[in-house]
Amino acid sequence: MNFRLIFIIFLLSSISAYAQVIDSIQDFLNKKQLQIERTSLSPKIDGILDDTIWQNADIATDFTQFRPDMGKTATEDIKTVVKMAYDDTGIYVAAYMYDNPELILKQFASRDNFGQADFFLVVLNPNNDAQNDTEFFVFPSGTQADAVANPSNGEDFGWNAVWDSAVQINDDGWVVEMKIPYRALRFSPDIETWGLQFHRRIKRDNSQYTWNPIDNTKGNSGLYHGELNGFKDIEPPVRLNLYPFASTVFNNMDKPDFNLGMDVKYGITENMTLDATLIPDFSQTGFDNLSLNLGPFEQTFSDQRQFFTEGVDLFSKGNLFFSRRVGGRPSRDVDLDENEEITEDPEVKVLNALKISGRTKKGLGIGFFNAITQKTDVKIHNTETGTYRKETVEPFSNYNILVLDQQFNGNSSLAVVNTNVTREGHFRDANVTALVANIFNKRNTYNIQGDLKMSNRNLDTGIETGLSSFLYIRKAHGKFRYSFDHSFANENYDINDLGLNYRNNFNSFGVDVSYRIFEPTEKLNNFSINAWYNYNRLYKPSTFTAQNAGVSIYGKTKKELMDFGGNINYQMGKQFDYFEPRDFENKRFFIYEDRVNANVWISTNYNNTFALDTNIGGALLFEDGRDNSQLWFGFTPRIQLSDKFLISYNFYFENELKDRGYANDSNDLDDEIIFGQRDQKTIVNSVSAGYNFNPFNSLNLTFRNYWTTVNYEDNPYFLQENGRLTKSTDTFDELALDSSDVNFSTWNVDLSYSCQFAPGSFLTVLYRNQLFNSNSMADEDFFNSLDTLLNQDMQHILSIRLQYFIDFGGIRSIFKKKNKNIEKLSRLSANMKQNSQLL
């Protein structure tokens, strides 16, 4: 029996291995091939394809649609023809997109902003590993976009390279000519076959075509690349790019602050790159969109500092890196005595930062991040004595990340990630280690994702160790899909010194099912429906906390190209909220029951001169003794006045009645936890406008006014041990509790001008102003609150930044050419001298 069992297992394994080999052979046979030729006479990048190399170059054509109508062949009137060549300095691309020029959408936009425009895309994968792509987009307006992409993190448009392109619009279509320098790529010279794909988007009907066909029912797009053959004797250049900059900042028209610094990109090896900001300058970072936070979790915002958003795909593995921690809020709060106040908010300054990242030709990704921040003190004023004292809230600190990520099978990866924060002195240190896996089967039909994480924090009480895990199993192909997931964290799991997690101590399960179409119907281009169920428990004590189920839909109409969708979510039965009471030590909880929320939205066709986004939603609580309700709606009209000028306005309104939540805590009440019943009203107005003079000069304006009021009933509630609330017969005032009413408003204006005056070189002028007000006058209406806001002291900031791009390899090649010319002249002079002697 054992022998038979072993034989059966061996036979099945052999059949499976044989099937995988057949699949691999079939995949290879289906890949289109393009031969690239070396040129000794480089084409001029002008969008006119009259250069000698383009006359006999190999042609890539016969594009196939992959969305919305997968497999449809492009007709002759919209066919695409692409040619390629290379020399010692880079790769050249010429593409002719046949079309009616009157139908080509070509809205001008800033770099990496797609707007309402067609595009042509070149995807290069020098390792031909189906996972690590470099993407170069060109639009009919001449605008460029670029990104690095992989299946785990998608497209990273924060990555920027310096390359050249030109566009011409002709009577029968539009033309793109490109030069992609080798400095913009990471490659090994001994790999002669690269992965290659071309995309063309036709925006008027939202269709997209590719050179090598894509099956979007399974797998990642990199698995469907064609192949580029013919590279010989190319060497990676010395990749040393310098970005010196100078900036001037006027804050409230005080004495200007001058800054000089430099960013550096250096190719350590053919596949590894060092990025460093030697003297950081983040003076042109925009304002955060502040809002009132009544919840138990910290309010966070995305990073707007380019160094921390560019090329961080490796460091995002395991979701352990939240870049706002570096140079963010200090790690220690100040204990103020009576009559003491902090004179100004502390700002932690980043002294320098660097990233080393890359991937070997065998698929091993290596990433190292390091940043240093300076010691930060706050000045504390005693209002009674008039004296001042200083207290350190953040010492000299070091932040670093190490990532090792091995890719395999063209679709899977396994990574080890470690993050570490070391602070000088008696401040806490932190370390987190994670094992992260993303594995597909060979046929790309099933996927397992998982991670195991351990956090360690060096506290005054000793080392605190936490554990977390995540497991996700899904069917990843076909119209009908499903998944199962489990997530866990114990009480001590905490990654917030360099990462971001809002909560710990959970043991949760989830199930998702979905159905989608891949071929258009009579009325729809796209349609999908998704349903879910989640069951949540605490880890310790092991007890039920919540459950919910819901459904969402999404669709796009075929004729009008209008997007629409909606969702409904039901939290069934009692929900035990262990976070709203803010008492994690005693594990106090608050109970609410049977909450339903729903939302529907519509987005009309952005190709039209006028388009509109609208949404409306609400929530109800079906609980005895409660009458809680919530309503919100918003609309965003947008007008495209020309290909160069776009303006949009957004209005959002939300009104929640008789909500109950944490209001106040007072030691005078024997550590009672105080809740309140409250009404909250919110109005947000924002405007966004942009005028692009050409692909290299743009003027942009953003404005936002946020206003909200929170009005509590006079009598508070006491939270009981059983999670229920008891209403007090006394008012907040009678209990000597401070008012919890809030009137909160902000005002932000950002006006910027950007000019790219040379490749990779920019002049940017940014004017910003900001207003902020918060008080307890919750009965004030919108216009009176706006008047109060406008009477506050306005912060004005004007910053001017000049950045210049220097390619060391380009400078060196100029000297090489000069030396060669000198050698030629010397040889010519010697020959002439010899000839004269013979005569």
pLDDT, one tens digit per residue, over 197-213 is 999 999 999 999 999 99
Q: How far apart are CA 144 and CA 763, in angstroms?
A: 18
Q: Tell me: do 25 and 39 sit in the same domain.
A: no
What 8-state DSSP symbol labels residue 186?
A: -
Q: Nearest 5°: CA angle at 662, between 674 and 655?
A: 130
Q: 229, 247, 265 — which closes off a domain?
A: 229
Q: Are 359 and 271 spatial neighbours (Cβ–Cβ below 8 Å)?
A: yes
Domain-embedded: residue 446: yes
The dihedrals phi and psi of 806, each to the nearest 5 degrees, come to: -125, 120
The residue whose two tokens read 């009413």 is 741
Please write the tens of the pLDDT for every residue from 366-422: 999 999 999 999 998 888 888 888 889 999 999 999 999 999 998 999 999 999 999
Q: Tell me: do 213 and 93 sit in the same domain.
A: yes
For residue 647, the cross-strand partners are 639, 689
Residue 8 pLDDT exceeds 50: no
- Alpha-carbon distance values, 210 to 105, 224, 561 (Å): 19, 10, 21
Q: Tell me: do 4 and 77 sit in the same domain.
A: no
Q: Which amino acid is at 45?
A: I
Average pLDDT over residues 574-588: 92
How many structural domains are present in the chain?
Answer: 4
Residue 618 pLDDT exceeds 90: yes
Domain hosting residue 26, numbered range: 1-30
In this prediction, residue 474 carries a pLDDT of 97
Q: Tell me: do 67 and 215 sit in the same domain.
A: yes
Residue 813 pLDDT exceeds 90: no
Domain-embedded: residue 94: yes
Domain-embedded: residue 799: no
Q: How far apart are CA 3 and CA 16, in angstroms?
A: 20
Q: Tell me: do 10 and 72 sit in the same domain.
A: no
Quickly state the pLDDT bin for 306 (edges 50, 70, 90): confident
In this prediction, residue 501 carries a pLDDT of 94
Which two three-digit tokens encode residue 198? Answer: 């071309």
Domain-embedded: residue 529: no
Domain-embedded: residue 135: yes
Query: Of 196-200, 448-452, 596-600, 624-628, which range is least confident?
Result: 624-628
Quickly state the pLDDT bin for 826 (edges 50, 70, 90): low
Q: Tell me: do 4 and 75 sit in the same domain.
A: no
Asked if the peptide bond before residue 189 counts as cis, ω within 30 degrees of 0, the response is no
Using a cut of 0.85, tell me whether the model's pTM lies above it: yes
Q: Which of 6-20, 372-386, 688-702 has the highest mean pLDDT?
A: 688-702
Please write the tens of the pLDDT for every residue from 138-168: 999 999 999 999 888 889 898 899 999 999 9
Quickly state the pLDDT bin for 254 (edges 50, 70, 90): confident
Closest listed residue to residue 602, CA positions, set 645, 564, 641, 571 = 564
Closest listed residue to residue 121, CA positions, set 143, 99, 102, 101 = 143
Quickly state the pLDDT bin for 286 (edges 50, 70, 90): confident
Structure-model confidence comparison of residues 286 and 668, the more confident one: 286
Task: Give the distance, in angstroms, between the CA of residue 837 and the centroid of all CA atoms in the same chain.
Answer: 72
Who contacts 243 (Cβ-Cβ below 8 Å, separation ≥6)?
Answer: 262, 263, 264, 265, 760, 803, 804, 805, 806
Average pLDDT over residues 217-227: 93
The residue whose two tokens read 């100040």 is 334
Average pLDDT over residues 417-434: 96
In this prediction, residue 655 carries a pLDDT of 98
In this prediction, residue 827 carries a pLDDT of 54
- Alpha-carbon distance values, 753 to 285, 756, 801 (Å): 14, 10, 11
Give me the percent of the chain exceeding a pLDDT of 90: 76
What 8-state DSSP symbol labels residue 286?
A: P
Quickly state the pLDDT bin for 823 (edges 50, 70, 90): low
Please write the tens of the pLDDT for every residue from 751-810: 999 999 999 999 999 999 999 999 999 999 999 999 999 999 998 999 999 999 999 876
Structure-model confidence comparison of residues 606 and 1, the more confident one: 606
Q: Tell me: do 40 and 23 sit in the same domain.
A: no
Residue 832 pLDDT exceeds 80: no
Quickly state the pLDDT bin for 818 (edges 50, 70, 90): low
Q: Tell me: do 399 and 324 sit in the same domain.
A: yes
Structure-model confidence comparison of residues 819 and 571, the more confident one: 571
Q: Tell me: do 38 and 79 sit in the same domain.
A: yes
Average pLDDT over residues 241-248: 94
Q: Tell me: do 59 and 23 sit in the same domain.
A: no
Q: Which amino acid is at 762?
A: F
Q: Tell me: do 375 and 340 sit in the same domain.
A: yes
Q: What is the CATH number of the domain that holds 128?
A: 2.60.40.1190
Domain-embedded: residue 544: no
Q: Tell me: do 172 and 159 sit in the same domain.
A: yes
Q: What's the chain's average pLDDT?
A: 90
Q: How far apart are CA 637 and CA 679, in angstroms?
A: 29
Q: Are 689 and 700 spatial neighbours (Cβ–Cβ below 8 Å)?
A: yes
Query: Of 281-295, 505-519, 546-560, 577-591, which range is least confident?
Result: 281-295
Q: Which of 258-267, 529-538, 584-593, 809-818 has the highest mean pLDDT?
A: 529-538
Residue 526 pLDDT exceeds 90: yes
Q: Are 86 and 233 spatial neighbours (Cβ–Cβ below 8 Å)?
A: no
Q: Are 353 and 307 spatial neighbours (Cβ–Cβ below 8 Å)?
A: yes
In this prediction, residue 14 carries a pLDDT of 44
Average pLDDT over residues 295-322: 90
In this prediction, residue 659 carries a pLDDT of 97
Domain-embedded: residue 239: no
Q: What number of CA atoms fall less than 13 Å from residue 310's CA on the CB side?
A: 19
Q: 229, 263, 293 — which closes off a domain?
A: 229
Q: 201, 229, 257 — which closes off a domain?
A: 229
Structure-model confidence comparison of residues 547 and 259, the more confident one: 547
- Mode of pairing for the β-strands spanning 376-382 and 446-459: unpaired
Quickly state the pLDDT bin for 446 (edges 50, 70, 90): very high
Domain-embedded: residue 727: no
What 8-state DSSP symbol labels residue 384?
A: T
In this prediction, residue 7 carries a pLDDT of 42
Please write the tens of the pLDDT for every residue from 476-509: 999 999 999 999 999 999 999 999 999 999 999 9
